[in-house]
Amino acid sequence: MTRTDTAAADAPLIECRSVWKVFGDRSRDAIAAIKSKGLGKREVLSEFGCVVGVHDASFTVDKGEIFCIMGLSGSGKSTLIRLLNRLIDPSLGEVLVKGRMINDMPAPELRELRAHTIGMVFQNVALIPTRTVLENAAFGLEVQGIAPAERRRIATDALTRVGLADWLHRYPRELSGGMQQRVGLARAIAADPEIILMDEPFSALDPLIRRQLQDEFRQLTKQLGKSAVFITHDLDEAIRIGDRIAIMKDGAMVQTGTAEEIVMNPADQYVADFVAGISRIHLVKAGSVMMPIGDFNVAAVGALPTTGLDADIDALIHMVLASPQQAVAVVEGGNVRGIVTARTLLEGLKGDHAPPAKVA
Amino acid sequence: MDLTPWVEGFDAAVDRGMVWATDHGGVVFDLIRAALEGLFDLMVDGLLLVPFWLVAIAIGAVAGRVLGWKAGLATAAGLALCRVMGLWGATVETACLVLISVLLAVVVGVPVGVLAGYSPRLTRFLDPVLDLIQTLPPYIYLLPAIAFLGYGPATAIVATFVVALPPVIRLSAHGFRMTPVEFIELGQATGAKPVDAFLKIRVPFALPSVMAGINQSLMMAFGMVVIAGIVGSGGLGETIYGAVRKLDIALSVNAAIAIVILTIIIDRMSQAASSNGGKP
């Protein structure tokens, strides 16, 4: 099984259709020109003095999915995530949440949507310094008008989930950065939203704490059945957390796909440079490194040990080493789909061979 | 070119305006005067009704709580010194003038400051006005006040209020303008209603700045309230004014000491309140 687009029957949770955000005094004129003449980012800047924050972004986020948007600073990712709960209004294009257009949603409905459907976690956490950890975690519930006893119960529950049950009555300044960010996460999940927007939440943390939080976040999100849009400037983080990853550059989405797809088939040199340093050992799966059976001695195939399409290179190395023929058959639905040998493994690790056509 | 007629014309217009205002607004000004003097008398008489030692102990205890026991003792001792110098009554009057003026400045200045914090346009309008108020010599405000409200504490309170107002507006506006953007986003992203976003996010962040504004306002008021001795404000200002006229240097020094004591007590207590404003 590969984690490609699962175009489900029901509407995607979030859908962006050709969304643009243009900043500047003459953004209105610039938008008109983009609409009528199809101007690009550079022309918009030179002709109208306007900065294009988001350049024609289209994507969907499905239910239960963690969608990572990876880009360097200035790539427009923070602007893009703010378009999803309309902290920033799009200049052009449509943003749909659960099939509903939010572009022109009236204020009360938008508040409802933000209170119940879309939570947000901020890079600098934004814990109110005069409130205790518990009061901070209960903030969203408090502004929804939920009774004190009830919101304390829910917030305590959320804080327990992120491992802060012993810190309820401390103040944010008494907590480490990682713990503060957990409070931010607890505040978001306490409101029980379907989607959590994560705006570079772990960027300021040291590497060890960061990895720990990444794993916890992924686990918690999956366990609670939430969906998330996760912004990061760190491809390793995106790979660890995301079901799918979008790479942004200069406001545009350069490539969208699973970690494996992006690492194996970078869309352009920019993405290729990014993925060059990524360890493939857990990322690349049998389906990507196997060679067609035709190249192999057909008679011997039956004797090979077998594995599935999504066995990673680490597992394959062990199997190939243990196999007398130094090869493993990759099986899907009872049929042998390809063969992995020491040679194909090395090619897969090296990364610049032309991968075989996708079998899935 | 001789501009004298122009100047004279301007002066005449100002005079006519004043006369018109006193003629037509007499009732209003009488009301204001009665209200301010009533409040002033009520506070002063009330405080003087209580035995001195009780007031000194009570204020000392409050100072002790917020600033530590040494400060509490020093406060009570300072007040006792005012009493020993025979200036207790004047000290109480001065404290009441300052507190009423600053209270008015807070009641008017904080809401204006909040609006200015939200509205750059209002800020652009207010800035030159506040600059003007703060640049003019403070006793300028005594003249129109005395014309409308006559000789006495009401005039002193109004003039002091004018001087005490700008810092409250400025620092309140600053406080509300300076809410960190991520917290404003937090309010929006959690679906907070505007009133909640104001009370639960803007106010906690603005409070330290507002309190600093009130502290500054108190200090400005102390400066003004002495000058207001000229218009029969009562209190230490008038004591000093009288002593200067009679060249009674000893008395003027005593009154100055009493003012210093009172200023330090109120300054330290309001500072403590303002530095606690931002913390739990």
**Domain hosting residue A188, numbered range:** 63-275
3-state class of A51 per DSSP? strand
A186 and A261 share a domain?
yes
Asked which of A223, A240, A275 is the last residue of a domain, the reply is A275
* Identity of the residue in B180, B193, B278 whose CB atom sits nearest the CB atom of A143: B193
A238 and A339 share a domain?
no
Q: Would you state the pLDDT for residue B139?
A: 81
Sign, CA dihedral A105-A110-A116-A117, equals positive
Q: Residue A97 falls within a domain, yes or no?
A: yes
CB contact under 8 Å between B191 and A120, yes or no, is no
Cα angle B22-B26-B32, degrees, rounded to a multiple of 5: 110
Q: Residue A42 falls within a domain, yes or no?
A: no
Q: Residue A270 falls within a domain, yes or no?
A: yes
A307 and A204 share a domain?
no
Q: Would you state the pLDDT for residue A7?
A: 39
Intervals of chain B under pLDDT 70: 1, 276-280
- Give contacts of A82 with chain B, Cβ < 8 Å: 185
Asked which of A252, A275, A298 is the last residue of a domain, the reply is A275
A221 and A93 share a domain?
yes
Which of A139, A143, A187 has the highest number of chain B CBs within 10 A, making it the mutation to test binding with B? A143
CB contact under 8 Å between B189 and A144, yes or no, is no
**Residue given tokens 């620092």 in the structure block:** B171
Domain count, chain A: 2
Nearest CA in chain A to B195: A143
| Whether the Cβ atoms of residue A54 and residue A232 lie closer than 8 Å to each other | no
CB contact under 8 Å between A120 and B185, yes or no, is yes
> pLDDT tens, position by position, for chain A (360 residues)?
433 333 344 678 999 998 989 888 888 888 888 878 777 778 888 888 888 889 889 999 999 999 999 998 888 899 999 999 999 999 888 999 988 899 889 999 999 999 999 999 998 889 999 899 999 999 999 999 899 999 999 999 999 988 899 999 999 999 998 899 999 999 999 999 999 999 999 988 888 889 889 999 999 999 999 999 999 998 889 988 999 999 998 888 999 999 888 888 888 888 888 888 777 777 778 888 888 877 676 667 778 888 888 888 888 888 888 888 888 888 888 788 888 888 888 888 776 544 444 443
Could you please report the per-residue DSSP string of chain B? ---HHHHHHHHHHHHHHHHHHHHHSHHHHHHHHHHHHHHHHHHHHHHHHS-HHHHHHHHHHHHHHHH-HHHHHHHHHHHHHHHHTT-HHHHHHHHHHHHHHHHHHHHHHHHHHHHHHH-HHHHHHHHHHHHHHHHS-GGGGHHHHHHHH-SSHHHHHHHHHHHHHHHHHHHHHHHHHT--HHHHHHHHHTT--HHHIIIIIIHHHHHHHHHHHHHHHHHHHHHHHHHGGGGT--HHHHHHHHHHHTT-HHHHHHHHHHHHHHHHHHHHHHHHHHHHHT--
Q: Would you state the pLDDT for residue B271?
A: 86
Which residue, among A197, A211, A132, A64, has the nearest Cα to B279 in the 3D structure?
Answer: A132
Write the single-letter amino acid at A184.
G
CB contact under 8 Å between A114 and B188, yes or no, is yes
A162 and A232 share a domain?
yes
Q: Would you state the pLDDT for residue A351?
A: 66
| Residue A142 at interface with chain B, using a CB cutoff of 8 Å | yes
DSSP strand E in A202-342: where?
A: 227-232, 244-249, 252-257, 306-307, 327-332, 335-341
* Identity of the residue in B180, B185, B280 whose CB atom sits nearest the CB atom of A130: B280
Q: Which residues contact B148 (CB under 8 A, 6 or more apart)?
A: B21, B22, B25, B29, B32
Bridge partners (DSSP) of residue A330 are A307, A338
CB contact under 8 Å between B182 and A122, yes or no, is yes
CB contact under 8 Å between A120 and B204, yes or no, is no
A199 and A72 share a domain?
yes
- Please report, for the domain that includes residue A330, its CATH number: 3.10.580.10
* Identity of the residue in A126, A144, A197 whose CB atom sits nearest the CB atom of B191: A144
Map out the domains of chain B as residue ranges: 37-49+87-277, 51-84
Which residue, among B61, B93, B94, B59, has the nearest Cα to B79 in the 3D structure?
Answer: B59
pTM: 0.77
CB contact under 8 Å between A111 and B201, yes or no, is no
| Residue A191 at interface with chain B, using a CB cutoff of 8 Å | yes
Q: Residue A216 falls within a domain, yes or no?
A: yes
A120 and A202 share a domain?
yes
Tell me which of 3.40.50.980, 1.10.3720.10, 3.40.50.300, 1.10.645.10 is the CATH number of domain B37-49+87-277. 1.10.3720.10
Sign, CA dihedral A201-A204-A205-A210, equals positive
| Residue A119 at interface with chain B, using a CB cutoff of 8 Å | yes
- Please report, for the domain that includes residue A197, its CATH number: 3.40.50.300
User: What is the least distance, in Å, from the CA of A188 to any CA of chain B?
Assistant: 8
CB contact under 8 Å between B196 and A122, yes or no, is no
CB contact under 8 Å between B278 and A114, yes or no, is no
Q: Would you state the pLDDT for residue A84?
A: 93
